[in-house]
Copies of this chain bind each other. A is one copy, B any other.
C-alpha cells in the first residue's frame, strides 16, 4: 500500500522544508490534511536505509486549530532543524464529515475531535482520530519521508495535550516520548471534557468504552506496573491561563504520576497565558526533551 499524498504547499524553512499535504485516510474515511517539517539533515538520508531515518515528534493542536496553526505560530522549525527532528502535525478533526451540527460549537465537532474514536452516532463513522494518529498517520508519512517509526514522540497543546498524554499512555510502544503544554489533564472532571466524552462516547456508566480510558490522569493512576515513561514526562502550564482552574487540572495528573512513581516535570510558569506566545516560549525545551529520549534509541 502506498497511498497517494497530494502536496498542498511546501516552503523552505531553516534549511529544511515545511510542507502541507493531503491524503485519503482509510481510518477516517475522508481526505485528511497534515503538516510536516523535515529538517535539513533529512535531505541527506534515504528512506531505503533504516539507519538514516530520523526521529519525529507528532504535535496535536488544540480546539479551533488546524494542521497549519503550530507550523505558523510556534516557531518550532528552528530547533527541529538544529536537532534533526521531523515534526508531524495532523489536523484537529475530520473535515467534510457533514455531521449535522458539527460546526455549531467551537469546543465540539469540527476542530474539536478530542483525539478519540467516537462510538456514538452520528460521529462514529468518521471521528476516529485516536486510531488515525496512533495507527495510520505515521506509517503514511514514513512511506514517503525517511521517518524512523521506532523513534516517534508525541506532544500537544490544550486539547492536543490531552490527546498526546492519553495516546502515549495507551500506546507506549508506539510513542517513545511524551510532553504537553497546557493540557486538559482530566477531561472526565472538566466542562470541555464532559461535553466531548458524552457526545462522542455516550453516557459513562452505559459505555463499554469508559470515559476513564480517555482521561490522562485516570490512565496514569491505573498504571499498576509502575511508571510507563521512566525517562520522564514534561508539562508546561502558564499560571495566567484563563482555562487553568476550570478546564486543565494539572494537579490531578501530577497526583496520579506521584502515585505510580512516574517522573513528571510540571513547570508552572508565572505570567503565561493559554496561547501560542506561551507555546513558542517553551517549545525548544519540549523538542529537546523528545530529542534526549529518542536519541537514546538509535
Contact = CB atoms under 8 A, between A and B. Distances in A.
Contacts of A77: 277, 280-281
Interface stretch (A23-31, A136-144, A267-275): A267-275
Contacts of A12: 238, 240, 269, 271-273, 277-278, 281
A229 interface: no
Nearest to A239: B12
A273 B9 CA distance: 11
A73 to B, nearest CB: 6
A271 B38 CA distance: 14
Main DSSP-derived SS at the A contact region: mixed
Interface residues of A, number: 24
A284 B82 CA distance: 14
Interface in A41-94: 72-73, 75, 77-78
A14 B72 contact: no
Contacts of A75: 75, 78, 280
A219 B11 CA distance: 33
A275 B73 contact: no
Contacts of A272: 11-12
Contacts of A281: 12-15, 77-78
A276 B14 contact: no
Contacts of A271: 12
A12 B284 CA distance: 16
A158 interface: no
Nearest to A284: B78
Contacts of A277: 11-13, 18, 77
A275 B11 contact: yes
Contacts of A238: 12
Nearest to A16: B281
Contacts of A72: 72-73, 276
Interface in A109-144: none
Q: Among A12, A77, A276, A284, find the residue whose CB has the most chain B CB atoms closer than 10 A.
A: A12
Given A12-B269, A12-B277, 10 more contacts: A11-B275, A11-B277, A12-B240, A12-B281, A13-B281, A14-B281, A75-B78, A75-B280, A78-B280, A78-B281
7 contacts: A12-B278, A13-B280, A14-B281, A72-B72, A75-B78, A77-B281, A78-B281
